[in-house]
Amino acid sequence: MTRIHPFFVLQTALVVLLSLFLAATAKADQPAQRIVSVGGAVTEIVYALGEDHRLVARDTTSNHPAEALELPDVGYIRRLSPEGLLSVNPDLIIAQEGAGPPEAVALLQEAAVPMIEIPEGHDTEAVVAKITAVAEALGVAEKGAALAGDDRKQIEAAQAGATGLAGKRVLFILSMAGGRIMAGGVDTPADGIIGMVGATNATADFEGFKPVTDEAILASGADVILVMDRTGDMGITDDALFSHPAIAATPAGQNRAVVRMDGMMMLGFSVRTPEAVRELSKALQQVGG
């Protein structure tokens, strides 16, 4: 019986360990190829960067471009399904700030799935930061710098064309289920886009999205109502708007002045923000007092 020298055994074990380490390191150095995008703004940026071939799933808010709808849906951004996320075997999740719930995020951490959070914000600098962060997460920083620079120029050009809107009071209504109005105050994407076109948020006396009283609506002095262009149960019809007594008494109600826009384009603060600024400013210039 041939006896194996202990040194040979040790040497073999070291070679095996080194091989495993090098393989793991090489894998870690490889860019992620199975990515889940969470947040419509993030998904739009991934496509704009030309990195959509690496996506294996997206969340419900990711509805643009149309090709994104062909990807598996892992749930709403704040009600993600951990089972759905893990079922697509991702090697990276790029998520907009606020994605959750926390228990889903905890499960992903236990499963050792890397998750990069992209900061939110509601101005030009936020758009640039968002594009830059997504590009860095994808490992394409140079492409991100080019896209961010182009988007900044387009936003500035769109804002230059947004004239004559100073003092125009815009009331953003998120929903009015049961006749109860949920409006957008400061520190919201609605407040951000209204400010970017040079208009005034008519409900800037509170933060976030909150239910508002009839008295508050009357006091807003809204010249224009701004809503998302939605249908079905979440949609807000002209009849529902202008039959509301408080709205009917505002300048917007008296002039039946309402602007409808694609929600993700208007509130996403992503690569389509220049288009949102152009569309909103043009619409506001044409309606209201």
pLDDT tens digit at each of 289 positions of the chain: 445 444 433 443 433 333 344 334 434 557 899 999 999 999 999 999 999 999 999 999 999 999 999 999 999 999 999 999 999 999 999 999 999 999 999 999 899 999 999 999 999 999 999 999 999 999 999 999 999 999 999 999 999 999 999 999 999 999 998 889 999 999 999 999 999 999 999 999 999 999 999 999 999 999 999 999 987 667 888 999 999 999 999 999 999 999 999 999 999 999 999 999 999 999 999 986 6
Contacts with 18 (C-beta within 8 Å, 6 or more apart), sequence order: none
Homologous superfamily of domain range 35-159: Nitrogenase molybdenum iron protein domain (3.40.50.1980)
**DSSP E strand stretches across 114-192:** 115-118, 169-175, 181-184
pLDDT at 3: 53
CA distance 97 to 118: 5
Is the pTM value of this prediction over 0.85?
yes
Q: Which residue has the tokens 């948020």?
A: 201
pLDDT for position 179: 83
Closest by Cα among 122, 118, 121 to 49: 118
Nearest to 132 by CA among 199, 202, 41, 52: 41
Alpha carbons 185 and 171: distance in angstroms, whole number: 9
The pLDDT of residue 234: 73
| CB-based contact 160:211 (threshold 8 Å) | no
Strands 75-76 and 79-80: antiparallel
Same fold, 35-159 and 164-286: yes
Q: Where are the beta strands (DSSP E) in 136-193?
A: 169-175, 181-184
Q: Are 61 and 79 in contact (CB under 8 A)?
A: no
Domains of the chain by residue range: 35-159, 164-286
* CATH number for domain 164-286, candidates 3.40.50.1980, 1.10.150.20, 2.60.40.420, 3.30.710.10: 3.40.50.1980
Can you read off the two tokens belonging to residue 273? 């923000």
Give the pLDDT of residue 231: 72
